[in-house]
Structure 1
């Protein structure tokens, strides 16, 4: 039993919100469904509440892809174990690394790697437009992370594959190696280092992805 007095001050651990804002102008993959909102009910005489109706792709904002997104036999996002989305993680900077994050871009931060790795590629993540030249992961980078026991990878771009890819080679590495993934993270203000990740997907039982409110908490 702790001998700390009940009235002793408790220092709260700092949080970094790594979720970009979601609104009508939030960029989406070309052809995907943008965020839209209507009011099903509004405050007024005879109505005590506001109630919104939302239409959106589950890939809007920070989100978790499920295996169903890239495999017809893959699990829907609501069936996934939550453990990979919660726990120690490392933020690694590979800013302006070029079109693909290669193993050498991460090598400086690979010692004693925790099971979750988030990679920052942008000096400033574009939040007002879709980046058709988005940075992605080289498949061999994901293979190497999986070999080291990583369970989840994340990136601050809209996809782990180049925007024009038709083969989705890096997504297929995720499938084969059982890796979980977060995309569209906002890492602009996050120093390189170790944190606790909290980024739980919704229990959407038939969906290929889910929005997340992703945060990092200091250890």
Structure 2
């Protein structure tokens, strides 16, 4: 199949991986470390090593993250993360996205929804970021959507029982976190967010981007 890439707009919605990037709640041990294994002063090749938590930056969670017998990355169907998607604008939300906020929109079974919030505009990713609360997660799960992404480092915050994660995972909803949506308009796109294949892992980084004809 021939595709005219000149007719496509590709929009990167991934976070760069750097030592100074925002990490979940600013925890120092979550900051990525890039070191040099060899350089041209001692070798004929330049090679580096990356050490980081798998929930750093733009990444995908699988059910094992919160459910003891949940599936891991090798069980993920790529059609769930290379798919049509819809960005919805929730920048009016100040603290948490609830079912009431989501009732302003229409959803259909099989949707992949990206939640654009004020997280993309304000320096709050390590502190009081906007998140999807348990009522909002339950609402989306009941709509039988395929996946949900958010411009926060976690789909939820300060919910001791991790109800948002669990509600989505139990309904087989993919969770994509750490998106950058500041320059993305509300609307429909093709999403590519395939994670690095790490068998047995509960999460992995993804290079997420949107394609608009």
TM-score in terms of structure 2 length: 0.89
2:107 and 2:70 mapped to 1: Cα distance?
Answer: 32
Choose the corresponding residue for 2:38, options 19, 25, 41: 41
Q: 1:61 to 1:126 in 2, by over 3 A?
A: farther
Residue of structure 2 equivalent to 1:52: 48
Task: Name which of structure 1's ranges 180-189 and 27-36 shifts more when overlaid on structure 2.
Answer: 27-36
Q: 185-194 or 149-158: which moved more?
A: 149-158
Q: In the TM superposition, what is the alpha-carbon distance from 1:124 to its structure 2 partner?
A: 3.4
Residues 47-196 of structure 1 mapped to structure 2, 5 A cutoff: 47-110=43-106, 115-122=111-118, 124-125=120-121, 130-162=125-157, 164-196=158-190
Cα drift, residue 107 of structure 1: 3.7
Higher-Rg structure is 1
Q: Which consecutive residues of structure 2, in runs of 5 or more, have no partner in the other structure?
A: none
Equivalent in the alignment of 2:195: 201
Change in CA separation of 1:212 and 1:126 when aligned onto 2, cut-off 3 Å: farther
The answer to whether 1:25 aligns with 2:35 is no
Deviation at 1:137, TM superposition (A): 0.9
**Greater fraction helix:** 2
Task: Assess, with a 3 A threshold, how the Cα gap between structure 1 residues 113 and 176 changes in structure 2: closer, same or farther.
Answer: closer
Assess, with a 3 A threshold, how the Cα gap between structure 1 residues 150 and 112 changes in structure 2: closer, same or farther: closer
Structure 1 runs (4+) greater than 6 angstroms displaced: none
Give the conservation status (yes or no) of the 8 Å contact 2:151–2:177: yes
Q: Report the Cα offset of residue 105 of structure 1.
A: 2.6
Whole-angstrom distance in 1 between the partners of 2:109 and 2:88: 11
Gap change, CA 1:183 and 1:125, over 3 Å in 2:
farther
How much has 1:149 moved relative to structure 2?
Answer: 2.9
State the SS of the aligned residue for 1:105: helix
Change (3 A) 1:54 1:76: same
> 1:171, 1:10 → 2: CA distance?
36
CA distance in 2 between partners of 1:123 and 1:70 (Å)? 24
Structure 1 counterpart SS, 2:16:
coil
RMSD of the alignment, in Å? Answer: 2.3
Q: Is the 8 A contact 2:56 2:153 kept in 1?
A: no
The aligned length equals 210
SS across alignment from 1:38: strand
